Amino acid sequence: MARIELFSDEGFRCDGRRPHELRKMSCRLGTFEQADGSSYVEMGNTRVLATVYGPRETKSNRSRLLFDRAIINCEYSLATFSTPERRRKPRGDFRSIEITNNLKEVYESAILTELYPYSQIDIFLQVLQSDGSNYSACINAATLAIINAGIPIKDIVCACSAGIINDTPMVDLSYIEESMGSNAMLTVALLPKEKQILSMESSGRIHLEAMDSLVDTAINGCMDVNNIMKGTVLNYVME
Amino acid sequence: MLSNIGCIRIMNAETKETAKSAHWKARKKKVLPGDEIADDVTLMRGHGTYVDSDSKLISSVAGHVCRINKLISVLPLKTRYNGEIGDIVVGRIVEVQSQQKRWKVDTNSRLDSILLLSSVNLPGGELRRKTTEDELMMRSFFAEGDLISAEVQSVFSDGSLSLHTRSLKYGKLGQGVLIRVSPSLIERRKTHTHNLPCGVHIILGNNGFIWICPQIDEGTESGGFAVNLDPVSFSDRETIARLRNCIMLLARQKMMLYDTSISYCYDISTEYQAS
C-alpha cells in the first residue's frame, strides 16, 4: 500500500502547507448569550467551543474554595462524533484527564486569581471536530472565552503544536501528521509578550539535538497564532 | 432604523477618538490583555490592570482605558457586577438562612450578596424590633426565587455585598419583566427608577438587571411584601414587551442604557407594528 507522502521533496506537506505555515485559523468571541464568556475557534478542521462561567460562588464544593484566590475548574470533552471512529464517551479517558489537568495549571498561572477569593471560575471546552492539535486549539479557545468574560489575565495566552517529520520541524500538525508520520510532537503554551512558556507537553521521542529547533518552531507558531487572536480581540473591542 | 442610529453614534465616538490621537491620555483608548498602559510610577493602578516585573502598568482585560486624576483602570466590555455603596440593584433570592438571620441574593456579582433580616423593613413600622418569630417567618417575607430591588449598603472585605431594603422604594417585585444585560451598559445616574412617559415603570439595576412593570401610582408603593396580583391589561403588556425589545436592541448595539435613551428608542419603535 502506498503511504501518503507527508513531506514532499519540493517542501510541501500533505495538505499543501510549508513547514512553518499554520492551518487557516478563525475565531469568534461571544458565541453564547447566557455564559459569562464564550468563543469558537477553528484551526483547520479542528473546531472547539469554549465557555467560561464565573468568577462565581458554587454550591457544590464549598470546602474546596480558597480564602486568598479563586479556584479554576476545567472540563475538556471530545464529542463522540468528533473523530473518524465514533467514540463511546466524550470524556473520562486518560488523554482527556491529562489535558484537563494541563489546562487547569496553565490558567492558574495566567489568570490573576488572587483578585477573587472564595470564587470559582469554570472553563468548559468542547471539541466538535478533531483534526489534530486539539490541546493547542483548546488553549486558544479558552483564552478568548476568558477575555470575553472580562476576567483579568496576564496576557493573551496562545498555544501551538510542532513536530518533526523527515527531520524537518513543522508547526500545527493535522491529524494525519500526528498519527502517521511524527513520532515526536510538542505543544507549547506561552505568554507572548515575555515569551514565557506556561506549559510544554510532548509525546514520542525527541532527540536532544532536535529539541531546540522544535521549541523555536513551536514558539514561532505561537506568535503567529497570537497575531490572529489579537486581531480578533481588537475587532471585538472596537465593536 | 434602530441600528442606523446606533451606527451614527458609534461613528461620532470614533471620529472624536481619532481627533484626540493615539495619546494614552485619550479617554477611550482601547487595550488588550498584556498591553502596556503607562510606565509612569506615580499613577495608581485600578481595576483591570497589574504591574509587571519592570514596574510597568499592564492591562489585564480587553476594554477601554478610563483615567480619573491619577487612577488608571481598564473597563472591560462585559464583566460580572462590581458593587459600590449606594447602587440600586435587582436581585433574586437564592437561599433563606434563618439560622444566620439573612437571605442570600443573586445579583450577578461574583459572590452571592447578603440581605440581613435587620436591614429590611418589616410590615408594621420602621422601628419595630425583630423577634425570634420574625426569624421563623423569614421565608414568608422573601422566599427562594423572589425578585427584589435593594440598595447596596456596604461591601465586605471578600468583595461580597450587603444589601438593604429599608425604604419604601425597595422590596419585593411583583408582575413584570426582567432583562439581564451587561452591568457596564447601565449608565450611572442620580436615579435608577423611572416612570417612563409610555406608562411603564422601570428599574435600571446597576448590576445589569432591568425590571419593567406596569406604572405604580405615587404614594402607593408597596414598600415590601404585598404583591399586586391584579391582571395587567393587554395594552400594558404590549408596551412592556415593546420596551423589552427596545432595551434588548440597545444592549445588542452596545449602547448605554438610561431613561432618555430608552424613551427615544421606544418612540422610534412606535412607527413599527408588532407582528
List alpha helices for A83-191, DSSP H: 94-110, 134-148, 175-176
Of B32, B58, B61, the CB nearest to A150: B61
Give domain status of residue B43, yes or no: yes
**Strand A120-129 to A46-56 pairing:** antiparallel
Question: Whose grid coordinates read 405604580?
Answer: B216
Same domain flag for B145 and B53: no
Fold for the domain defined by A25-238: Ribosomal Protein S5; domain 2 (3.30.230)
Same domain flag for B70 and B156: no
**Contact by Cβ (8 Å): A229, B34:** no
Candidates A226, A237, A238, A239: best to mutate against B (most CBs of B within 10 A) is A237
B138: domain CATH number?
2.40.50.140
**Contact by Cβ (8 Å): A217, A20:** yes
Domain locations along chain A = 25-238
* Nearest-CA distance B83 → chain A (Å): 14
Confidence of residue B20 (pLDDT cuts 50, 70, 90): very low
Instruction: Using alpha carbons, list the distances in angstroms from residue B189 to A48, A118, B182, B192, B258.
Output: 41, 31, 16, 7, 8
Contact B80 A150 (CB under 8 A): yes
Give domain status of residue B81, yes or no: no
Residue B226 DSSP one-character state: -
Could you give the CA distance from residue A19 to residue A90 in angstroms, rounded to a whole number? 32
User: Which residues of B are less than 8 Å from A56 in CB distance?
Assistant: 80, 110-111
A175 touches chain B (CB under 8 A): no
B44: domain CATH number?
2.40.50.100
Candidates B7, B11, B32, B179: best to mutate against A (most CBs of A within 10 A) is B32
Task: Say whether pLDDT at B5 is over 60.
Answer: no
Same domain flag for B53 and B121: no
Contact B110 A54 (CB under 8 A): yes
Same domain flag for B200 and B67: no
Confidence of residue B54 (pLDDT cuts 50, 70, 90): confident
Task: Say whether pLDDT at B2 is over 50.
Answer: no
Confidence of residue B118 (pLDDT cuts 50, 70, 90): confident
User: Which residues of B are less than 8 Å from A239 in CB distance?
Assistant: 254
At which of B50, B76, B102 does a domain end?
A: B76
For residue B172, the enclosing domain spans 87-270
Same domain flag for B67 and B131: no
Contact A154 B78 (CB under 8 A): no
- What average pLDDT does the segment B121-148 reach? 81
CB half-sphere exposure, A187, CA atoms < 13 A: 21
Q: What angle do CA A167, A171, A177 make, to 5 degrees?
A: 70
Candidates B80, B160, B161: best to mutate against A (most CBs of A within 10 A) is B80
User: Which residues of A are less than 8 Å from B9 in CB distance?
Assistant: none
The predicted pLDDT at position B224 comes to: 60
Total number of domains constituting chain B:
2
User: Which residues of A are less than 8 Å from B183 in CB distance?
Assistant: none
Could you give the CA distance from residue B224 to residue B178 in angstroms, rounded to a whole number? 18
Contact A149 B79 (CB under 8 A): yes
B78 touches chain A (CB under 8 A): yes
The predicted pLDDT at position B26 comes to: 41
Give domain status of residue B145, yes or no: yes
Same domain flag for B224 and B183: yes
Other CB atoms within 10 A of residue A191 CB:
21
* Percent over 70 (pLDDT), chain A: 98
Question: Residue A50 CA to chain centroid, in angstroms?
Answer: 11
B33 touches chain A (CB under 8 A): yes
* Nearest-CA distance A61 → chain B (Å): 14
A37 touches chain B (CB under 8 A): yes
A239 touches chain B (CB under 8 A): yes
Question: Whose grid coordinates read 418569630?
Answer: B133
Of A54, A119, A153, the CB nearest to B33: A153
Could you give the CA distance from residue A95 to residue A76 in angstroms, rounded to a whole number? 10
Task: Say whether pLDDT at B3 is over 50.
Answer: no
**Contact by Cβ (8 Å): A136, A161:** yes
**Strand A120-129 to A71-78 pairing:** parallel
Write the CB contacts of B171 (distance below 8 Å, at least 6 apart in sequence): B121, B148, B149, B165, B222, B223, B224, B225
**Type of residue at A1:** M
> What end-to-end distance do the CA atoms of chain A give, in Å?
53
Give domain status of residue B10, yes or no: no
Write the CB contacts of B217 (distance below 8 Å, at least 6 apart in sequence): none
Q: What angle do CA B114, B118, B119 make, to 5 degrees?
A: 60
Task: Say whether pLDDT at A41 is over 50.
Answer: yes
Omega cis (within 30) before A55: yes
Same domain flag for B110 and B167: yes
- pLDDT tens, position by position, A1-31: 457 788 888 889 988 999 999 999 999 999 9
Candidates B50, B64, B78, B107: best to mutate against A (most CBs of A within 10 A) is B78
Contact A57 B158 (CB under 8 A): no
The predicted pLDDT at position B218 comes to: 57
- pLDDT tens, position by position, A112-138: 999 998 899 999 999 999 998 999 999
Task: List phi, psi (to 5°) of B51.
Answer: -110, 125
Task: List phi, psi (to 5°) of A113.
Answer: -70, -20
**Type of residue at A73:** N
Could you give the CA distance from residue B9 to residue B14 in angstroms, rounded to a whole number? 9
The predicted pLDDT at position B126 comes to: 61
Give domain status of residue B16, yes or no: no
Of A149, A192, A237, the CB nearest to B30: A237
Q: What is the pTM of this model?
A: 0.87
- What average pLDDT does the segment A68-79 reach? 93
A19 touches chain B (CB under 8 A): no
**ipTM score of complex:** 0.85
Give domain status of residue B111, yes or no: yes
The predicted pLDDT at position A172 comes to: 93
Same domain flag for B94 and B51: no
Of B48, B64, B78, the CB nearest to A152: B48
How many interface pairs between A and B have CB atoms less than 8 angstroms apart?
A: 79
* Nearest-CA distance A13 → chain B (Å): 34
Size of chain B, expressed as the number of residues it contains:
275
Could you give the CA distance from residue A197 to residue A211 in angstroms, rounded to a whole number? 15
Helix (H) or strand (E) holding B241: helix B234-252
Compute the CA torsion angle B232, B236, B240, B246 (nearest 10 deg). Answer: 170
